[in-house]
Structures are given as structure tokens and as C-alpha cells.
Amino acid sequence: MTTRRNTLHQAFAAVRQRAPDAPFLAQSALSGGRQWSYEAAGREVDALAGRYREAGWGAGHRVALGVGNDPRHFFHFLALNSLGASIVPLNPDHRSVEIQYTLGHGRVALAVCHGQRVQAVREAVAGEPALRSMAIAALDADGNAPARFPAAPQTGRAAEPAVADGLRAEAAILYTSGTTGRPKGCILTNEYVLGAGVWYTGLGGHLRFERGRDRLLNPLPVFHMNCSMVAFSAVIHSENCLVLPDRFHAQTWWEDCVRSGATAIHYLGIMPPALFKQAQSDWEQQHQIRFALGAGCDPTLHGPFEQRFRFPLVEVWGMTETGRFIPNHTDPRHTDTRAFGRALPPLQARVVDERDVDVADGAVGELLVRAEGADPRQGFFSGYLYDEAATALAWRGGWFHTGDVVKRDAQGLLYFVDRKKDMVRRSGENISSAEVEAVLAVHPAVQRVAVVPVPDALRDEEVMAVVVLAAGQAAQLTTAHTLVQCCLEQLSYYKAPGWVLFRDALPVTPTNKIQKSQLFAQGQSPFANAFDCRALKTRPVNQGHT
């Protein structure tokens, strides 16, 4: 009898039956080192599913998980998935108002939390009358679930009606980072999750999985689609093991990789420079990593990183909304550029102008994507939760509008330029914040930098660099001039910062993305304490920029 695989749990159960003793989930060596086989994990999942079922939880319910970067998060995910319930992973750095929004907007009926998250959720619920009937289950100090879960409500028991087709049933709600406004809840089905894993493990090239032999070490948080959906589904489909550190630690990363037996890793753009700046160690020579998947590696560092650490950093493009990604996984990868790959069937891509008209090769425009065939949304997110207008706007014309500005060469290779909302419009010129940031980020005086537009009475907008200086650097005018001069030497003069502001730190999301919308409080002038460097941006002779 063939096991149906219309849900994530069914796909897991098939591997459990086929390879019960294969490693499935593990804490990284420096995070405890405990490991569960597919069979051992299955017993944990069965026990949890029984307790959830006994308390009445099932199809249509949404359960918030505040378990953290621990294999037990996935035990609850699989248990709830087997019952038709959906999960809403919680961000551990959220404050009460943010927790209230997630729980309330997501119509969460139960929150299952561990450690400090229990008290944070209790305080948030207590502060919002509409949430006071929501049930909370606290895990013990070892992460074990209570003997009995709170009973499911008898009336108004589900956020959504049950869906007969398990493939199309809701598996999770993931909230976007909210860097530009209220987070949107992305509805992810079993089809989305399963499709992401099949896509990843079928790519080959530098992203080749070896069935039953790989250990994927992923430091990204479990409320992020990279770890909780793509990586988790991929290890199930390839009968491999997902290894979870509590988070990324640059100083002990290579030791953790070696001791954990990692053969592949995932990364964020901040990781390569942090690792490259570490002194050479014996640990970095002992790892068995064959590839890394991620996004945002500085092109000036990409080649030197691969040469030093001896494995490819495979840049990809993807979003929570897309599930599948566009990979730059075959040679030549053009690592000295921001190339992120070609759209592969069934994904299709276009580069368009502001009227959604295709632009010529080499010209910049917004990236649009869809699935080929009769259903352009097949495998994508099902929509933004309770926001049909935002969903329709994103999918206008039958293509998903990513908000990313890219360009494509004659061979179809796509290059990242910037987020559409992250451009500086100066005297009619579109200036990529990322391009300026890439120059400043490698300057020895700079620890971290964000480039943003600020108002300019003459030129509409001017470029401002908000800089966290490296240790020992002075936040003074001469330092600002040095950074501007560095840009003038490598970029067109109009792209250099006209203003430089020094800060002790920059606001970031839990995945270490800079929250540019949080750089300045409402009503705060961006020019306070900033150094005016506009006089340095003199126009070269016979050029028309201002």
C-alpha cells in the first residue's frame, strides 16, 4: 500500500517507514548535540498528536509556536499538521504590541511556548481583552509538553473551515518582517511546503543532495521560511538531517560545523563577512561542507571567501510568497556580481518597467514571477491573510510583483539591483542603496551601514549613509569625508553620500536585516547630528548630473 503524501506529515511518515534509523533532527553540537532518528521523532510526534487530538485541537485551528530554534518546534509542527491544524511561528524578539497583532490578526486559538516566551505571551494576552480567551500551554524547562493541553473551544472553534484536499489545506501562516509597515500573514499550504522541498532537492549542480548522507546546518530562525519550510521539507524529501544551532555564532561557527558533521549550510548576507574577519583556525580546515545556500554576499568578498573556505556560496533569490527560489547554482556563476541565477521551469520571470512593460536586456526593472501553465499561482503562497486587496495588487496581471529591482543579461542571468522601495531618486537618477552600501561595507572604518534617501529641496532626494563605525574609529567630519571620498573613487559622483550620520547601532530584524523604516522615530529629523558632505559631490566636467 502506498502512503499518500498530500501533507507534510504524510511525507515524513513515508520516510519514517522507509528509513526509521536515519538521522532526522538534531541540535548542533554546541547547542546540546541531541539527535532524533526518523523513528524516534515519529514517536514524539505521535504522542503530541494524541494529546492535541484528545484536547479537541484539529482542522481549522491555528496554533502559535514559541518553541524556538529547537527540534521540538518541528515535532509540534508535524503533530498539528497530521491533524489538519496550522501553525503560526512566533518571533522571540517581538514585544507585547507585536505579539498581540500576530495572535489577534492570525486568529490564534492556542499558543504553545517555551521559556521566557511564556511570560511574554501571557503579558501580551493580558493586555488585550480580545485575546484573553486564548489558551496558553507552557513547555517545561526541558521543552516537554504538558500531559494535557488546554481544551479547544467548543464554539467558534476554528479560524478557517476544514479543507478536504490535504494538499491545499493551510499548513502555516508566516508573517513578513514588517520593515515597511504592518506585517502581512502569508498563507502557506501543504502544496507550498512540499513543493519547496521537492524543488530544492531536485536542482543539482552545486546544490546536489546525497540521499541519506547529508546534514544541513541552518542557523536561520524557525519563524523564517528558509529554515521552517524550505530546509525542513528538503531534508524530508532527501531522507537527510536538519541540524539546528540556537543562532549564528561567528567565533565558534567552524567548530560547530565540524562537531555537528555538517555537509551543507544556509547563510545570510551578514555571515560571510563576519566569518571572513575571524582569524584562521584549525576548525575551518576540518569541515566537510560541500555547499552553502543564501543571499546577499558582497561580490567583492564572494571569491575570496570561497577560496579560503573551499566550498561554493550559492546565491539564490526567493521570498516567503514564492516558496521555490531562483538559484545561481551552475557555473559560470559570475560571483564578482550580484547574479542570483535564471528562472527554471516551472518558474517564469519577467523584468518590467512601472507600467509592467518588459524592459530590454541590461535595463533595470521590477522582477515579476509566476508558475507556467494554467495556474500561475501553483506552488506559491495562497494569499495574504484577510487582505484580498493586497493579494490582488501583488498578483495583478497574473504575475507576482516582487518589489525587487533587477536586470537580466542576454543569456537570461538575473542580477539583483535593489528593493524597489530602497532606491534613492536624485535629480532623475535611480541610485541603488545596495550598490553604495557594498562600497562602504568593505571599508575598514565601517562595521555596518544603511543607505537611505533623505529629502533635498533641489534634487528631490539625496543619499544618506547611516554608519556604525568599527572599533577605534572617530565619529567626526574627517571620517565622514573619508567614506564619501571612498565612494567617489568607485562610483559615479552622484551616488556618493551627501550626508553621513554615525550611530552606535542599527535596528535589525531577528534575521539580521536592517530595518530602515526604524532608523528615525516619527517626526525625527534625519539631519540632526549628520555631517553635510554635499559639497564633495562636485560634477565632473562634461557630465550632466547635478
Look at residue 538 and tell me whether its pLDDT is greater than 90: no
Grid cell listed for 74: 518541528
Length of the chain: 546
Cα–Cα distance between 221 and 70 in angstroms, integer? 10
Cα–Cα distance between 347 and 353 in angstroms, integer? 20
Residue 274 is inside which H or E element, if any? Answer: helix 271-276
Short-list 32, 52, 87, CA closest to 229: 87
**How much of the chain is in helix, strand and coil states, percent to nearest 5?**
30, 25, 45
Look at residue 267 and tell me whether its pLDDT is greater than 90: yes
Grid cell listed for 42: 515519529
* Higher per-residue confidence, 142 vs 305: 305
Cβ 358 vs Cβ 351: under 8 Å: yes
**The CA-based dihedral angle spanning residues 507, 509, 514, 517, taken in that order and rounded to the nearest 10 degrees:** -70
Across 323-358, b (16+ Cβ under 10 Å) vs e yields bbbbbbbeeebbbeebbbbbbbebbebbbbeeeeee
Q: What integer pLDDT is reported at residue 155 of this predicted model? A: 64
Domain 8-341 has CATH 3.30.70.20: no
Q: What integer pLDDT is reported at residue 1 of this predicted model? A: 34
Look at residue 181 and tell me whether its pLDDT is greater than 60: no
Cα–Cα distance between 71 and 80 in angstroms, integer? 15
Cβ burial of 428 (10 Å; 0-12, 13-18, 19+) is exposed
Q: Would the CA dihedral through 8, 14, 17, 23 be positive or negative?
A: negative
Cβ 318 vs Cβ 199: under 8 Å: no
Segment 445-460 mean pLDDT: 91
Look at residue 465 and tell me whether its pLDDT is greater than 90: yes
Task: Render pLDDT for 364-386 as a digit per residue (tens, 0 to 9).
Answer: 999 999 999 999 999 999 999 99
Short-list 325, 383, 346, CA closest to 189: 383
What percentage of the chain carries pLDDT values higher than 70? 96
| Neighbouring residues of 228: CB distance < 8 A, sequence distance ≥ 6 | 73, 74, 77, 89, 172, 174, 222
Q: What integer pLDDT is reported at residue 544 of this predicted model? A: 40
Task: Render pLDDT for 130-166 as a digit per residue (tens, 0 to 9).
Answer: 998 899 999 999 899 999 999 998 765 577 877 778 8
Cα–Cα distance between 284 and 489 in angstroms, integer? 35
* Higher per-residue confidence, 523 vs 47: 47
Segment 278-305 mean pLDDT: 95
Residues of the chain within CATH 3.30.300.30 domain(s) are: 427-536
Residues of the chain within CATH 3.40.50.12780 domain(s) are: 8-341
Cβ 194 vs Cβ 202: under 8 Å: no
Interhelix angle 116-126/96-105, rounded to 10 degrees, is 70
Task: Render pLDDT for 64-86 as a digit per residue (tens, 0 to 9).
Answer: 999 999 999 999 999 999 999 99
Look at residue 545 and tell me whether its pLDDT is greater than 60: no
Q: What is the mean pLDDT of the chain?
A: 92
Look at residue 347 and tell me whether its pLDDT is greater than 60: yes
Cα–Cα distance between 174 and 89 in angstroms, integer? 7
Which band of pLDDT confidence, cut at 50, 70 and 90, is reported for residue 509? confident
Task: Render pLDDT for 80-107 as a digit per residue (tens, 0 to 9).
Answer: 999 999 999 998 878 788 899 999 999 9
Lowest mean pLDDT among 131-140, 170-179, 333-342, 381-390: 170-179
Residue linked to cell 484536547: 55
The structure's pTM equals 0.83
Interhelix angle 71-82/38-54, rounded to 10 degrees, is 60
Segment 481-492 mean pLDDT: 91
Give, in degrees to the nearest 5, the angle at Cα 507 between 248 and 457.
Answer: 140
* Higher per-residue confidence, 25 vs 513: 25
Residue linked to cell 484580498: 388
Task: List Cα–Cα distances, 497 to 312, 409, 492, 493, 545, in angstroms.
Answer: 33, 29, 11, 9, 15
Bond preceding residue 221 cis, omega within 30 of 0: no
| Neighbouring residues of 1: CB distance < 8 A, sequence distance ≥ 6 | none
Cα–Cα distance between 491 and 499 in angstroms, integer? 16
| Strand 23-27 with 86-89, pairing | unpaired
Task: Render pLDDT for 306-323 as a digit per residue (tens, 0 to 9).
Answer: 999 999 999 999 999 999
Q: What integer pLDDT is reported at residue 177 of this predicted model? A: 59
What kind of architecture, by CATH, is found in domain 427-536?
Answer: 2-Layer Sandwich (3.30)
Q: What integer pLDDT is reported at residue 424 of this predicted model? A: 87
Segment 340-362 mean pLDDT: 96
Which band of pLDDT confidence, cut at 50, 70 and 90, is reported for residue 435? confident
Q: What integer pLDDT is reported at residue 183 of this predicted model? A: 83
Instruction: Select the CATH number that applies to the domain covering 342-423 from these four: 2.30.38.10, 3.90.330.10, 3.30.360.10, 3.10.310.30.
Output: 2.30.38.10
Residues of the chain within CATH 2.30.38.10 domain(s) are: 342-423
Task: List Cα–Cα distances, 150 to 86, 103, 146, 157, 430, in angstroms.
Answer: 17, 17, 9, 13, 55
